[in-house]
Amino acid sequence: MATKKKTDQDLQLDKDQLKASIVRHLRSTLGTSEQKASPEAWWKATAAAVNEQVYERLTRTQQTHFKKDTRAIHYLSAEFLMGRLSSNNLHNLSLYKICEEALGELGLELTDLCEQEPDMALGNGGLGRLAACFIDSLATLNYPAVGYGIHYEHGLFRQEIQDGRQIERPDSWREYGNPWEICRPESVQEIPLYGYVETVFGDKGGLKKVWHAGRKIKGVPWDIPVVGFGGHTVNILRLWESRASEFFDWDVFNAGGYIDSQAEKAQAETISKVLYPNDETDAGKELRLIQQYFFCACSIKDILRRYKRVHGADFSNFAAQIAIQLNDTHPTVAIPELMRVLVDEEGLNWDTAWGICYQVFSYTNHTLLPEALEKWSVSLFEKVLPRHLEIIYEINARFLNELVEPKWPGNDAIKAKLSIIEEGDVRKVRMGNLCVIGSSKVNGVAEIHSKLVKEDLFPEYAELWPEKMCNVTNGVTPRRWLLACNPELAGLYNEVVGKEWPLQLDKLRSVVKFADDKAFQQQFMSIKRHNKEKLVKVIKAETGIDVSAEAIFDVQIKRLHEYKRQQLNLIHIMALYRRLLANPDYDMHPRVFIFGSKAAPGYKLAKDIIYAINKLAERVNNDARIQGKLKVVFMPNYRVSLAEKLIPAADVSEQISTAGYEASGTGNMKMALNGAITIGTLDGANIEIAEEAGAENCAIFGLNVDEVKSLKARGYNPYDFYYANSELKAVLDWFDTDYFTPGRPGELSSIKRSLLEGGDPYLTLADFESYSEAHKLIDAWYRDPALWAKKAIINSATMGKFNSDRSIQDYVDRIWKLTSCSVG
Ligand code: PLP
């Protein structure tokens, strides 16, 4: 008997049904009772009840996509910084309020239960969080999409602060199980590694390459359902976990080698064990290359399996059905892997296979920092992926002969620059070059960044393929970053502009007309005040520091890197402190500087900056002379769930990177959307934020991209600024004393050294004065409550452009050419 297809209406639960389902799952899934259950058990029971909805919709989505045989995007990313899923899934299924009421009747608070969920921190920062926002938007816009990544056992390390220093602790996000993931043993893949390549005679005559792998690794897929807003489409994020190909090597075992067989298993499992904690830079380690190959090869196999289920071995539709996006260079090896599979395993000729690859792949560049452009030594490549190295040589030879030589005849310098292989003592494979050569589109992530990708990073490629280079400005999902994290402001917007804004963020623009309205200003600012009061409690609980919600909350939350310039913020706070010590009546509105930031464990200077912030905080926060006008807070273990508490409470958003270094930034968008005023350089998406909000509503300071370039070209000397500004000099000299580290002078000197003897590569001193002036402006604005409220409202109301739905629609229009597919 045919079952009747359930509509969205049929699926929607009411409060009593949800409550019954939670209690049922508490007993039958968690094996406990209402009397005994821990908050964690209640959270898992709630997730299980929600999953009944999720799975039903997931199945409907998959059946629809299969039936319609739709073109789909496959988003390959080594990182997905998902955070927590409970509140997001409830909001996207329109169940949040109902669940709150259902749990309320059971004597429970939904927000407390949500706190039980560990963050899924499978990413370092912006790049991984972008991938998470993008898969949310893809599902919301009903685009067929699969996210592919790595099921790290340990995500980004947990940061503890001990005596001011960062200590890294392992993150065990699924130690006690994760209710949002489903293991799919039926889709396990096996992938080869190491070994050698043999040339043999093929069945159809001619020569053929055979890769004899030295090892095989099993990839076990874990699926995380991705619920679109409204709950119509539920796509998946498929994360691969590595396992030994055979659980036991029975021969070794029978020969008495139990320990050896276990060692092999442990080695295989190492591949997906830990996320590399380097944001922006790369270690170039064998394990990292294997991680990259592992998830790419599993994903390519998975994509082919799904394609062949419908089309068999006829690849003529492959490029029409499949789009693959490479999120940075981490998944580049997917290009030679697809070539290998098509040529060696499926028997396609080179040109046909290359034609397919070229159409299928697109690449997003995330950084211009030279240390972040991945390169692998040829010898490592040869050892781990011998067949891929051959394929890369072939791609390179054809590219240089067929495209570069005709365009720049006899020009060896250009050939050397554009080659995938870097010559030198250690020959290297340049993954960025391979990406550009093997992709039909290359995009940067903000207007200015895309321009620099085209003009400075890849100018010759842009000359060869002008149509290949494009821009897609990043975005953030307004569901997580406003609706869920700032419910009061979301409620106000619902009243004023209606409930469509989470899908059409541009609708908020109509709020601009209330920017001068006293009653609206008062409502808006009292919501900010309430969010600040909530944060005051979190700060007290996490750090023991007392702060007042009366003060300006000035927030810098992002990875610690010299180019992001937390050191600029630090020296400016020290300058304020000096001003207050010199003149206790120094006229400023009380300010709380709040930091949240992890440093890569091997990045010594970054860790020293964290230490300096904490030592400064100890001194400033306990100095009665300054009458509480200045407070410094370092919030340990910055992560998505903490960002969700900090962002709604921020008055000032610090976006102070050296111009030309921050590709886009996304924290900048989130804070402005929640009514913070940006103090920032003309870098990345700050430029577009200032365009949308109006430059007069941001505190822009510092050198712009061209000025940075020309100062560097002229020869930047930080000592010029050190000697020219007595306050700056005094602040830098302070680092050499024991003022902040009593009895231990010199503990903070590395920061001064980096800014003077180290040459100050990120021009911190050059921008100090203008930064300090911008802060005076912020102070003056804040003392005029109506002016501040107006600017804050305008910032929040004009961030429509930075909806990640808009970014995804740009990808669809400019790159992926997908058709949206309604489900249900
Ligand atoms: N880390 C987390 C947890 C985030 O939520 C974000 C973005 O909001 C980032 C890092 C990236 O921040 P930024 O764009 O300021 O570098």
Residue with the smallest CA separation from ligand 1 atom 5 is 640
- Ligand 1 atom at shortest distance from the alpha carbon of 647: 8
- Ligand 1 atom at shortest distance from the alpha carbon of 670: 8
Contact between 610 and 650 (Cβ < 8 Å): no
**635 — pLDDT class (breaks 50, 70, 90):** very high
Q: How far is the CA of 688 from the centre of ligand 1 (A)?
A: 17
Residue with the smallest CA separation from ligand 1 atom 14 is 665
Torsion of CA 246, 250, 256, 258, to 10 degrees: 20
Tell me how far the alpha carbon of residue 119 is from its chain's centroid: 14
Residues with CB under 6 A from ligand 1: 125-126, 129, 558, 639-640, 643, 665-667, 670
The residue among 89, 113, 99 whose CA lies nearest residue 21 is 99
H helices, E strands: number in the chain = 35, 25
Residue with the smallest CA separation from ligand 1 atom 10 is 125
Ligand 1, residues 557, 560, 673: which to mutate, most atoms within 8 A of Cβ?
A: 557
Q: How far is the CA of 223 from the centre of ligand 1 (A)?
A: 24
Q: What CA–CA distance (Å, rounded) separates 582 from 813?
A: 58
Tell me how far the alpha carbon of residue 779 is from its chain's centroid: 32
Residue with the smallest CA separation from ligand 1 atom 7 is 667
pLDDT digits 0-9 by tens, 30-65: 999 999 999 999 999 999 999 999 999 999 999 999
Ligand 1, residues 84, 88, 129, 481: which to mutate, most atoms within 8 A of Cβ?
A: 129
Q: How far is the CA of 275 from the centre of ligand 1 (A)?
A: 17
Residue with the smallest CA separation from ligand 1 atom 11 is 126
3-state secondary structure 518-543: HHHHHHHHHHHHHHHHHHHHHHHHHH
Q: Which residues contact 741 (CB under 8 A, 6 or more apart)?
A: 615, 747, 748
Please report how many Cα atoms fall inside a 13 Å half-sphere around the Cα of residue 284, on the Cβ side: 16
- Ligand 1 atom at shortest distance from the alpha carbon of 640: 3
pLDDT digits 0-9 by tens, 574-608: 999 999 999 989 999 999 999 999 999 999 999 99
Q: What CA–CA distance (Å, rounded) separates 644 from 651?
A: 14
Residue 814 has pLDDT above 60, yes or no: yes
Q: How far is the CA of 669 from the centre of ligand 1 (A)?
A: 10
Contact between 323 and 357 (Cβ < 8 Å): no
Q: What separation in angstroms does the CA of 283 have from each of 529, 662, 695, 699, 787? A: 43, 21, 39, 37, 48
Question: What does the pLDDT average to over 549-575?
Answer: 98
Q: Which helix (H) or strand (E) holds 39?
A: helix 39-68
pLDDT digits 0-9 by tens, 651-673: 999 999 999 999 999 999 999 99
Q: How far is the CA of 670 from the centre of ligand 1 (A)?
A: 9
Q: Which helix (H) or strand (E) holds 353?
A: helix 350-360
Please report how many Cα atoms fall inside a 13 Å half-sphere around the Cα of residue 200, on the Cβ side: 11
Contact between 300 and 341 (Cβ < 8 Å): yes
Residue 738 has pLDDT above 80, yes or no: yes
- Ligand 1 atom at shortest distance from the alpha carbon of 665: 14
- What the block records as the tokens of 610 is 């964290």
The pLDDT value recorded for residue 198 is: 96
Ligand 1, residues 666, 673, 689, 802: which to mutate, most atoms within 8 A of Cβ?
A: 666
pLDDT digits 0-9 by tens, 675-700: 999 999 999 999 999 999 999 999 99
Strand partners, 377: 428
Contact between 552 and 652 (Cβ < 8 Å): yes
Angle among Cα 97, 102, 103 to the nearest 5 degrees reads 100
| ipTM exceeding 0.95, yes/no | yes
pLDDT digits 0-9 by tens, 477-518: 999 999 999 999 999 999 999 999 999 999 999 999 999 999
**729 — pLDDT class (breaks 50, 70, 90):** very high
The residue among 534, 656, 520 whose CA lies nearest residue 595 is 656
Ligand 1, residues 640, 645, 804: which to mutate, most atoms within 8 A of Cβ?
A: 640
Residue with the smallest CA separation from ligand 1 atom 15 is 667
Q: How far is the CA of 286 from the centre of ligand 1 (A)?
A: 28
Per DSSP bridges, beta strands 207-212 and 196-201 are antiparallel
Catalytic center residues: 366, 558-559, 564, 666, 670
Residue 538 has pLDDT above 70, yes or no: yes
Residue 741 has pLDDT above 50, yes or no: yes
In our burial notation (b when 16+ CB lie closer than 10 A, e otherwise), range 447-461 reads bbbbebbbeebbeeb
pLDDT digits 0-9 by tens, 95-139: 999 999 999 999 999 999 999 999 999 999 999 999 999 999 999
pLDDT digits 0-9 by tens, 248-303: 455 655 666 667 777 778 888 999 999 999 987 776 789 999 999 999 999 999 99
Q: What CA–CA distance (Å, rounded) separates 421 from 312?
A: 36
Q: How far is the CA of 546 from the centre of ligand 1 (A)?
A: 25
Q: How far is the CA of 129 from the centre of ligand 1 (A)?
A: 7
Locus of tokens 């781990």? 384
pLDDT digits 0-9 by tens, 150-167: 999 999 999 999 999 999
Q: What CA–CA distance (Å, rounded) separates 425 from 539?
A: 52
The residue among 115, 102, 96 whose CA lies nearest residue 25 is 102
Per DSSP bridges, beta strands 591-596 and 552-557 are parallel
Q: What separation in angstroms does the CA of 584 have from each of 186, 432, 485, 588, 630? A: 70, 54, 38, 10, 12
Strand partners, 699: 679
The pLDDT value recorded for residue 372 is: 84
Proportion of the chain above pLDDT 90, given as a percent: 93
Q: How far is the CA of 597 from the centre of ligand 1 (A)?
A: 9
- Ligand 1 atom at shortest distance from the alpha carbon of 125: 10
pLDDT digits 0-9 by tens, 217-251: 999 999 999 999 999 999 999 999 999 986 445 56
Helices (H), 431-554: 431-438, 447-452, 459-464, 478, 487-497, 518-543
The pLDDT value recorded for residue 247 is: 46
Q: What CA–CA distance (Å, rounded) separates 723 from 672?
A: 36
The pLDDT value recorded for residue 1 is: 43
- Ligand 1 atom at shortest distance from the alpha carbon of 83: 3
Question: What does the pLDDT average to over 344-370?
Answer: 96
The chain-wide mean pLDDT, for the chain, equals: 96
The pLDDT value recorded for residue 203 is: 77
Proportion of the chain above pLDDT 70, given as a percent: 97
- Ligand 1 atom at shortest distance from the alpha carbon of 664: 14
Domains annotated for the chain, with CATH where assigned, are: 69-84+119-473+809-815 (3.40.50.2000), 487-802 (3.40.50.2000)
